[in-house]
Chains A and B, each alone.
Chain A
Amino acid sequence: MLKIFSRLSFVLGMFILFGGLALSSVSVATAQQPAPNVDDEVLRISKDLYCPVCVGVPLDVCETQACVQWRALIREKLLAGASASEIRAYFIAQYGERVLGAPPPEGFNLSVYLLPLGVLALGAIILFFTARGWLGHPAGGVGAAPASIPPVSAEYAERIARELKARE
């Protein structure tokens, strides 16, 4: 009985010791949290990383085996005292840029950012000049003098008013 008790207290002691160590290592990263929580930190980091198998699925929600392992790896590294940016750098070094949600803007990747911008800019320029071309007729424009418009004869004015009313 006593033996069992002492063994239990040993286990408990070890648990408190290691648990405390683990907690203190995490609490450096998340100082404002009163109850540090590795799960939460894993979530935080895996949100910014992307699943290698499923296109466009962030690591924190992916259920594939690879992602479960990656999350376990993040947890391990966190417990070993690695910081969020270190873990991120590790994944990029290990698996390449595809772990990032948006490609870093360099080399060929630049075109993914620049093409939409270029299309918008080019479209704006074309639009501006086309519209200005459409605008260029002073006689018909609103800026023209009112006197240039001949008055409508009374007969037609009456008919227009009538047809307008019929369209109400």
Chain B
Amino acid sequence: MEIFVILALVLAVILIIGYPLVNPARYRDLIERGRTSARYNDLCDARENIFEALRDLQFEYATGKLSTADYQQLDARYQTQAADVLRQIDALQAQTQNARGRRDCPRCHAAASASDKFCAQCGAKI
């Protein structure tokens, strides 16, 4: 009795864990997909961060933590950085998407993929 329970448990564990190894072809696409260039990742992260910084800056100015001169100077600096990052992202997108015929959202000009029905940014119909 005991030996059967033990055998059943061990067998179940081996089966559950071993099953995916039986037919590896099914999972081929798991690793290949979803790879982007490190540079693009960094640019996206940088963009989100700069916008967060700009937002912070506005709020901190509104709560009286910054003098007007400091605010204007920092704001100008982050605006420049933001423009710079946006320009680089645009360039990278243009470069990698030339072949595919990229589409823009008619309302906000955000990039959209060929399969998108609505804009991911503003929700407008494409």
Contacts and interface: CB of A to CB of B under 8 A. Distances in A.
Interface of A: 140, 142, 144, 146, 149-153, 156-157, 159-160, 162-164, 166-168
Interface of B: 51-52, 54-55, 70, 72-74, 76-77, 79-80, 82-83, 86-87, 108-109, 121-122
A73 to B, nearest CB: 61
A149 to B, nearest CB: 5
Contacts of B51: 160, 163-164, 167
Contacts of A146: 72-73, 76
A162 B70 CA distance: 23
Given A142-B73, A146-B72, A149-B77, A160 B122 contact: no
Contacts of A166: 121-122
Contacts of B122: 166
Nearest to A157: B79
Nearest to A156: B83
Given A142-B70, A156-B83, A160-B79, 10 more contacts: A140-B77, A142-B74, A144-B73, A151-B76, A152-B80, A156-B86, A157-B83, A160-B51, A160-B86, A164-B51
B19 to A, nearest CB: 45
A146 B72 CA distance: 9
Given A150-B80, A162-B108, A156 B74 contact: no
Contacts of A152: 76, 79-80, 82-83
Contacts of B109: 159
10 closest Cβ pairs, A-B complex: A156-B83, A152-B83, A152-B79, A149-B76, A160-B82, A146-B73, A167-B51, A149-B77, A149-B80, A152-B80
